[in-house]
Chain A
């Protein structure tokens, strides 16, 4: 069954072909708006327009934000949230790519995280030298992880960070398994990464329940979470807003775009047209009836007066 709900998707052009086929099957009206095509306006009216279409008039807007354009998506979400349902709220996007803030929030949801330190790039070299033994893993503001085995390479690695940027530091976890999950309200799917190889896996209830806690904490409809598991100990390493569509499909056979489309259908209530028509006719009927009674009363009054 195809839903009459109107769905808009805003993201980089490269995601369009990965997601639209699944959405075309589920929605009679679904449009993909590359982020570069969107114009935001404020002043006379606050709107988000692409072409001549007001994105705020869609029943649901799925955002596929890229970190490099985070300010744009944050502003877009702020505008759209006032008028329609959005997959990621502005309050989440404000902090989402701020790693220390993100980790702290995950921890506050009662979900374990790896121990890490964050410091500004300007002073990172001496701090790391004085407080850590190699090897260490550095995470850039964009979420890229770099393993540093010795002090000699540390300076070179740190020069890749811009001044003032946050450097997150942790120790590598030996013999740990990595799980990459896609989380929606009703489902958690995932695969395992072993020696850089991706393997299909059924996500256990231990990981699934933690994944849902994280998703709810950030108030997201969808997200992708990376877990690290060592023995019985599980912790969150990273969270992304856009899943790796291809990886999930190729490894686990799951089309996460279809999962998204199926869940979005249940998030939207679109009034039935025949129901609307019936209500309108009934309403008009009542008005006519009321008018007729008034006329009849007035005529009676006039006759009585005569």
Chain B
């Protein structure tokens, strides 16, 4: 094995170090933001959570369920991402030690088989990315129609980056195939591309090989640092997000402990209404329900960072599909945008200071909240188990219990339930009349 440690390797280590530093900084900022939410216990039933994560996140279990075309190509890109990255391990070692394809002599025919496979996969990824670009920009699939501005650009950027990375990988092999004495004849795809560089002198080929190699690794490092600013962060967050899924039946809404205590006190004839709260009993929330992102729980905030804006939720939403303003995807994007705004305030001032804005009204309107039928189609459709409905309900709780600002017809329903035990104005005493009618 020849080692050529030199200036290139020092530059390489520097690039990896800088990329790792910035990524770690941005990642820990996002983790801090998630922790701004209320605590929630979602670490019970661990075995079940690991299984779910293996099935839904690692195994892409929900991807091909309904949207087969998109699901199939997504799995190709995902497999490409996971497997081709094995090659990145080699690139890292080569970069540090100054070796060239360090695994090649060690693995022999296994190495060749692997690279053949990776190259084929790279071509499939290229095709998938082109199809995705087509679906987003030419065909404009329904669920992408609402995406404007950054959301639209971001979706395309990812695909461009992916295409460039795959092209660099294949061209790298093609250039190497023309270089004499390196033992590389080209693999299944790169050997076909090799004639592109045929007839070039060895010095130029070495330069092209180096450019492609550097382009590929710097591209990957840039991609890594693009993630925290992008919907594409889902490739990391999907895993913890699915692990923290709600495991109860979808129809089960959380019971609010604080409300339970108050009602118990109200219904207990022996309770002393003026009793001081017990020592250490300071778990009372500052408000009921959610007005801003800090009122949501941590998994809801994690959901916001896990959303890749695919719009399967919105496409399944009965309110959205009949023209109402509500869009579950927008609920998630709004939550993340507001959280990022709060994050910027914390970065600038060292702690959060009121900025006169809230998730409610400044981002999510009341009209959107009241349009939800709580049918759970959004959560069911989400490939990474995001639960937009729980945010809607939490915000309704704030509207009703803090502002008494329910939709007016709902106030009538609620006063009926309160007065006569039914949502309509029938007397409790008449409840059994049907028996004799």
Chain B binds chain A: no
Residues of B within 8 A of A (CB): none
